[in-house]
Amino acid sequence: MKNIKINKGLRSKCPKLRLGCLSFSVQYVSESEALQQQIETISAEIATVLQTDEISQLPNLQAARQSYRALGKAPSRYRLSAEALLRRVVQGKGMYQINPIVDALNLVSIQTAFSIGGYDLNKIQGDIYLDIGKEDTPYNAIGKGEYNIANLPVLNDEKGAFGTPTSDSVRTSVTPSVENFLMVFFDFDGAANLSATMEQTATLYQQFMTIKNIETSIV
């Protein structure tokens, strides 16, 4: 597992913030019909019990949105990834189908309301630290192009920013060349179920693909 820390300035503004880190080696698969069937089933179940205006009140999202405000970022404009996914599901739009590694991550996100970053670990250089995003910092976000990360919680390595709870970067995205995968669960409220969620996530991945060398930590 990479050395990961949260910088003091961010901790002072978001004192309950933690990072749940799950990494493993993975054999890339281009598709999984069984996983897609499970995603469709769970998405349909969520859509029947959850209304759009209730999503932001889910405990993990409510705490995250409050943290965004504390950092000076509007959570309705810079939606957390879990909120954006759940809105699609509740509105009947379904989730984006990317590849099974990312799709399984998104499934966990809609089930738990944790915003989760997913990264090709081999593309991350050196130690990782979470800090407050700065002005005029280039960030090429997946599906968004150049993105304003100022005042967002931002994961960085030696090369610069690569992940936020809103959108991850193209630089560390998962492609068929991936060998080692890192998931970061952004926990803004000290959730009691974070460890159990990571264990269940590893089990989920084992159902649909070959993974090994599983490691977890909470920062």
Kindly report, residue by residue over 17-28, the tens digit of the pLDDT. Answer: 999 999 999 999
Is the pLDDT score of 103 beyond 80?
Answer: yes
pTM for this structure? 0.95
User: For 219, which DSSP code?
Assistant: -
What H or E segment, with its residue span, contains residue 49? helix 33-49
Q: Which residues contact 26 (CB under 8 A, 6 or more apart)?
A: 101, 178, 179, 180, 181, 205, 209, 210, 211
Each residue of 157-209: pLDDT tens digit?
A: 999 999 999 999 999 999 999 999 999 999 999 998 999 999 999 999 999 99
Query: CATH classification of 4-218, choosing from 3.40.640.10, 3.10.20.740, 3.50.40.10, 3.40.50.720?
Result: 3.50.40.10
Q: Provide long-range contacts, Cβ within 8 A and 24+ apart, for 96-101.
A: 97/36, 98/174, 99/28, 99/29, 99/30, 99/31, 99/174, 99/176, 100/29, 100/30, 100/31, 100/32, 100/35, 100/208, 100/209, 101/26, 101/28, 101/29, 101/174, 101/178, 101/181, 101/209
Each residue of 126-155: pLDDT tens digit?
A: 999 999 999 888 788 898 888 899 999 999
Both tokens assigned to 3: 């050395």
pLDDT at 199: 97
Find, among 185, 133, 186, 198, the residue nearest to 162 by Cα: 133
